[in-house]
Amino acid sequence: MNRALLLSISFFILTQCSSGRKDTLPPASGLSGDMYLVMDSTQWKGPLGEVIDSLFNQEMAGLPRKESIFNILWINPTKLNMVLKQRRNLIFAVSLDQRGRGAGIIKKYFTPESLSSIKSNPANFVLSNSDVFAKGQEVMYLFSNTEEQLIQHIRRHGNQLIDHFNKSEHERITTSLLKSGQIKGISDWLQKNFLCDIKIPFGYKLVMNEKDFIWVRQVNPRDDKNIFISRKKYTSEEEFEKNNLIAYRDEVCKKYLFEDPDVPDSYLITETTIPFIPVATKQTSISNTYAIEMRGLWRANNFSMGGPFVGYAIADAETGYFYYIEGFTFSPGKDQREIMRELESILYTFKTSKDIPKTEP
C-alpha cells in the first residue's frame, strides 16, 4: 500500500490496541489468503459490504481456473471474541452515519479525538497496524463520515488495499519458508557469478546452473514448484514491453526448460491463445528497483502439461544486466493461488548488485 496513505492518518489513537509487550501476544491464527471482515450486519448486507467483498474476492489473475485473491469471512461485531480477534488478516469497517449495534461496537475502538478527526478530515479513511491482538497479524481500519464516502474511497484505492495485505502475506510466507534455512551454496554462487541474490528455501533442489541461467525445483506429491533466473545484457527500455518479454521468456524456456530432458523438442512456451486468460503485465518494484510483473499460463509445446507462472523483469544499472526471474508450477486439479503466492514471496527476495555485499578484489 502507498505508505503515505497510512502515514497521513498515523495520529489516530485506537482504544483497544494490544497491551503489554508484543512478545507476550499469541501467534496469529488462520490460513494464508483468509480475510476476516468485522462490520455491522446492515452494512455487510448493503452496498458497503458488497464493494468490500467484491474487492477482495475478485479473481486472481493468471490462474487456469477461478480463485479469488482473498477469502472474505464476515464477523458480526457482536460475535467478535478473542479467538476471532487473533486472525492473521482483520478488517474493521464502519461509517459514522451508521447507527446499528455492530457499528456502535466498532466505533468504540476509536477515541473521541479520533472520531472528531474523522469528521473534520473526510479524505482520511484507512489505518493499518501490525501485531494488534496477535503476533504476525495485520489489522486494517476503514472509516468515513458516510457510507457513500467510504465506498468512494475503497473504489478509488482498492488496489492499494489489496497490495498492502499481499505484502503482509509475502512477509509471513517468507519468514515461514526460511525457518529451515536456504539451499547451501546458491546465494554465494549467484553473488559471484550472476551479481545478484535470491533466498531459495531449504527443500528446493538445484536442477541446472549455466552461465546465464539457473533453475531450482521442489517436487511434492501434490505439486511441482519451480524458480528460475535468466539474464542477458540490457540494451533498451523496449525489453520491458510485453511482447518482448514473452519472446525472451520463450527463448529461455525453449533452450533450458524441457518437459522431458530426453526429448529436447518437448519444451515449455508461454500460452497466448486463451483469450479469457491473457498474459498480463504491470509495473512494480523488486529490491527497490523498477520492475515489470508478468503473469499468465505456460504449457508444453506438445500440449501435454501446463500451469500458471509469475515473472519479474529487472534491469541492473550498475552491472548492465537484464534479469528475468520466474516462478511456475505444475499442479493439475489443485488450487494454485497459495502456491503462486509462495513463489511470489521467494521472487520478492531477489536483490540486485547494489543490495548484495561487496567482495574485496
Give the CATH number of the domain where residue 35 resides: 3.30.379
Q: Is the Cβ–Cβ distance between 201 and 347 less than 8 Å?
A: no
Whether residue 212 is found in the same domain as residue 129: no
Residue 361: inside a domain: no
Place of cell 497491551: 19
Distance CA 70, CA 55 (A): 9
Would residue 344 count as lying in a domain? yes
pTM: 0.90
Mind listing the pLDDT tens digit of every residue in the chain (361 residues)? 444 444 334 334 444 444 446 778 999 999 999 999 999 999 999 999 999 999 999 999 999 999 999 999 999 999 999 999 999 999 999 999 999 999 999 999 988 888 888 898 888 899 988 999 999 999 999 999 999 999 999 999 999 999 999 999 999 999 999 999 999 899 999 999 999 999 999 999 999 999 999 999 999 989 999 999 999 999 999 999 999 999 999 999 999 997 666 666 788 999 999 999 999 999 999 988 999 999 999 999 988 899 999 999 999 999 999 999 999 999 998 999 999 999 999 999 999 999 987 765 4
Range of the domain at 343: 181-355
Query: Which residues are CB-neighbours of 251 under 8 A, at least 6 positions away?
Result: none
Please check whether residue 138 lies inside any domain of the structure.
yes
If asked whether residues 247 and 304 sit together in one domain, one would say yes
Shared-domain flag, residues 58 and 152: yes
Residues 76/37, Cβ–Cβ less than 8 Å: no
Domain boundary at 145, 177, 209, which? Answer: 177
Q: Which among 177, 212, 228 is the end of a domain?
A: 177
Q: Which three cell numbers stand for residue 323?
A: 534479469
The C-alpha cell at 186 is 546458491
